[in-house]
């Protein structure tokens, strides 16, 4: 007897569940009210990330192509997995006449970065920050190694070296 | 007739691999099953497919760097794992954090727990055969992930706790967004019951499957919702309150049946409790600093330290032996998933393969947590 009552109860509860799914099906078929799916590759133009989104590490440049990095290598030391390499050099400062460190290349290995944010926290002059770009797909791993300072850029005046 | 059948249709015990890429194993977990027909006689677990030696990596990472590695253990309770390391360092260094930090940490913990349980609910439904639940579970999880993305910058590996506070202050939309999500969840969780919990077919698949008694649960060292389904009171939030858990009033979800359905009910109830905890705290966030100043290089004093937190799968513990240097001398993570998996053989003995899948999903294994 319980065999038949099980079948009846099972069908009844199944229909209760199907009322939920059916409700969504019909409501969303006509109104698209609860649809949260994003049509990702098609909405690339309009997609906006949150302002704190951790896409990649970028170096901030002003309109005169000047950055704030003085090659102190604190970010390189803070990085847990060696994603940052800094190539710096020393040159004579024309104003003070002392030897001053300057940045040649800020190399960033995006393929090794875990987005932990320790480099950005460690930076004393806020030279690097998060970028919102997340389209990091490349055919070759080496293309993910980036030089963050733009070619021809130099240090902003007023930053201690 | 029956005797004739058993005489004529003799079965032979054989071995079958489940995994490492079986979709029901939630990651690269390889189970070596000894089967008699369809009946499970023995389950051998073969671990280590994604062993990354995180504990050893921690021994050459500074205490600030360890935090982001704990995200990668149980990625569905990343926030609790972060908090365990932070609480340990704060305890060792005698850093007092203010109420704002404590409350925000607790809210984040509970949001993580809901998001983890919602995902688990979807995956459990899918393992049993109800694919719709997977979509519904992800729908709710997406809203919670939006909160994380807005405040922490990432959706899964948040890395939001730092020693002495939080990495950023909460986003201005945080309170509003959290309230919206709670309102949404309160509407949707009863639907979960209609869709899956009250379904007789689903209940029959879980009831009296994978029964483990309270004594056995303690003997195997089970923890979290898995043990609470067997009537063992083991909630670290109750027994060793940390952060703001002593400020809130909540009930520990305990069911005594010990079967898969009890474990299912524990997690559903925990979601309701988490909602109630967040509701009690969300309007009480005081205006204060979000971070206590700490030294640039953190060195723990010589000694042994242990900190336990209640992650979404159970008791997550961090043990650090410090020799006063900036790296820990030895570090051990006690992960809930590993202890829970050990009881699988006991639970699955004599059941069918399909029941093994149900047990696996109600234990809620996350393999990176087990392998480390």
Tell me whether residue A51 is in a domain: no
Cβ contacts (< 8 Å) between A14 and chain B: which residues? 199-201
Q: Residue B133 belongs to a domain with what CATH number? A: 1.10.645.10
CB contact under 8 A, B195 and A50: no
On whether both A76 and A146 belong to a single domain, the answer is: yes
Cβ contacts (< 8 Å) between A130 and chain B: which residues? 153
B34 SS3 class? strand
**Domain region containing B196:** 50-339
Tell me whether residue B334 is in a domain: yes
Q: Which of B266, B240, B262 is nearest to B251 (CA)?
A: B266
Out of B149, B151, B195, name the one closest to residue A20 (CB): B195
pLDDT digits (tens, 9 = 90+) for B274-294: 999 999 988 888 888 888 888
- Our CA angle for B318, A54, B365, nearest 5°, is 40
On whether both A14 and A60 belong to a single domain, the answer is: no
Q: What is the pLDDT along chain B (372 residues), one digit of tens a residue?
A: 666 666 666 677 888 888 787 665 677 888 888 888 888 888 888 888 888 888 888 888 888 888 888 888 888 888 899 999 999 999 888 888 888 898 999 999 999 999 999 999 988 888 888 888 888 888 888 889 989 988 888 888 888 888 888 888 888 888 898 999 999 899 888 888 888 888 888 888 888 888 888 898 899 988 889 899 888 888 888 888 888 888 888 888 888 888 889 999 999 999 999 999 999 988 888 888 888 888 878 888 888 999 999 888 888 999 999 888 888 888 899 888 888 888 888 888 888 888 888 888 888 888 888 888
Out of B154, B196, B200, name the one closest to residue A10 (CB): B200
On whether both A14 and A66 belong to a single domain, the answer is: no
Cβ contacts (< 8 Å) between B194 and chain A: which residues? 16-17, 19-20
pLDDT digits (tens, 9 = 90+) for A18-41: 888 888 888 888 887 777 778 888
Mutate to test the interface with A, among B68, B144, B198 (most CBs of A within 10 A): B68
Out of B159, B191, B200, name the one closest to residue A6 (CB): B200
Structure token pair of residue A71: 């090659």
Give me the phi and psi of B143, to 5 degrees please: -65, -40
Count of domains in chain B?
1
B327 SS3 class? coil
Q: What one-character-per-residue DSSP string does B103-144 give?
A: HHHHHHHHHHHHHHHHHHHHHHHHHHT-HHHHHHHHHHHHHH
CB contact under 8 A, A20 and B150: no
Q: Counting one residue from A and one from B, how many pairs have CB atoms under 8 Å apart?
A: 72
- E strands in chain A: 56-59, 66-67, 84-92, 99-109, 128-131, 145-147, 154-155
Long-range contacts of B133-139 (CB under 8 A, 24+ apart): B133/B192, B133/B195, B133/B196, B136/B188, B136/B191, B136/B192, B136/B195, B139/A34, B139/A36
On whether both A33 and A63 belong to a single domain, the answer is: no
ipTM: 0.82
**How is the beta sheet containing B30-36 ordered, strand by strand?**
B13-18, B30-36, B39-46
Tell me whether residue B162 is in a domain: yes
**Domain region containing A12:** 2-37
Chain A residues in contact with chain B using a Cβ-Cβ cutoff of 8 Å? 6, 9-10, 13-14, 16-17, 19-21, 34, 36, 49-50, 52-54, 78, 80, 114-118, 121, 130
Count of domains in chain A?
2
Q: Residue A143 belongs to a domain with what CATH number? A: 3.30.70.3270
Tell me whether residue A161 is in a domain: no
On whether both A77 and A133 belong to a single domain, the answer is: yes
Tell me whether residue A43 is in a domain: no
Tell me whether residue A132 is in a domain: yes
């Amino acid at each position: 007897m319980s065999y038949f009552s099980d079948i009846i109860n099972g069908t009844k509860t199944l229909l209760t569940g199907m009322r939920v799914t059916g409700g969504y099906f019909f409501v969303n078929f006509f109104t698209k009210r609860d649809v949260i799916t994003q049509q990702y590759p098609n909405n690339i133009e309009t997609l906006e990330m949150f302002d704190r989104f951790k896409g990649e590490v970028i170096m901030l440049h002003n309109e005169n192509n000047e950055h704030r990095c003085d090659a102190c290598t604190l970010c390189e030391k803070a990085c847990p997995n060696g994603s940052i390499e800094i190539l710096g050099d020393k040159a004579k400062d024309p104003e003070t006449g002392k030897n001053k460190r300057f940045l040649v290349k800020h190399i960033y290995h995006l393929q090794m970065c875990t987005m932990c944010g320790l480099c950005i926290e460690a930076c004393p002059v806020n030279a690097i920050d998060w970028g919102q770009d997340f389209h990091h797909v490349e055919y070759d791993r080496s293309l993910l190694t980036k030089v963050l300072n733009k070619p021809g850029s130099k240090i902003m005046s007023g930053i201690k070296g | 007739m029956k005797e004739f059948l058993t005489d004529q249709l003799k079965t032979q015990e054989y071995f079958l691999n489940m995994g490492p890429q079986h979709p029901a194993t939630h990651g690269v977990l390889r189970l070596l099953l000894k089967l008699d027909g369809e009946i499970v006689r023995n389950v051998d677990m073969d671990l280590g497919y994604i062993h990354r030696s995180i504990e050893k990596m921690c021994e050459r990472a500074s205490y600030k760097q360890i935090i982001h590695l704990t995200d990668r253990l149980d990625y569905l309770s990343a926030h609790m794992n972060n908090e365990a390391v932070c609480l340990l360092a704060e305890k060792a260094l005698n850093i007092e954090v203010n109420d704002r930090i404590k409350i925000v940490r607790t809210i984040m913990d509970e949001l993580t727990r809901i998001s983890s349980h919602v995902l688990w609910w979807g995956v459990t439904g899918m393992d049993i055969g109800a694919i719709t639940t997977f979509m519904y579970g992800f729908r709710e999880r997406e809203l919670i992930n939006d909160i994380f993305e807005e405040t922490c910058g990432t959706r899964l590996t948040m890395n939001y706790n730092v020693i002495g506070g939080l990495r950023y202050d909460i986003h201005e939309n945080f309170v509003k967004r959290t309230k919206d999500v709670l309102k949404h969840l309160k509407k949707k969780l009863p639907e979960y019951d209609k869709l899956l919990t009250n379904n007789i077919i689903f209940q029959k698949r879980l009831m009296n499957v994978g029964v483990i008694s309270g004594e056995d649960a303690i003997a195997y060292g089970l923890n979290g919702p898995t043990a609470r389904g067997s009537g063992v009171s083991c909630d670290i939030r109750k027994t060793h309150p940390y952060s703001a858990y002593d400020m809130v009033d909540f009930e520990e979800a305990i069911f005594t049946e010990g079967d898969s359905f009890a474990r299912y009910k524990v997690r559903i109830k925990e979601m309701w409790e988490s909602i109630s905890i967040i509701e009690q705290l969300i309007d009480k966030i005081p205006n204060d600093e979000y971070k206590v100043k700490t030294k640039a290089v953190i060195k723990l004093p010589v000694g042994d330290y242990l900190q336990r937190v209640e992650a979404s799968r159970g008791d997550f513990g961090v043990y650090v032996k410090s020799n006063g240097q900036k790296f820990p001398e030895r570090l051990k993570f006690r992960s809930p998933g590993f202890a829970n998996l050990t009881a699988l053989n006991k639970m699955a003995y004599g059941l069918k393969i399909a029941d093994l899948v149900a047990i696996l999903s109600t234990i809620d294994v996350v393999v990176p947590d087990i392998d480390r």
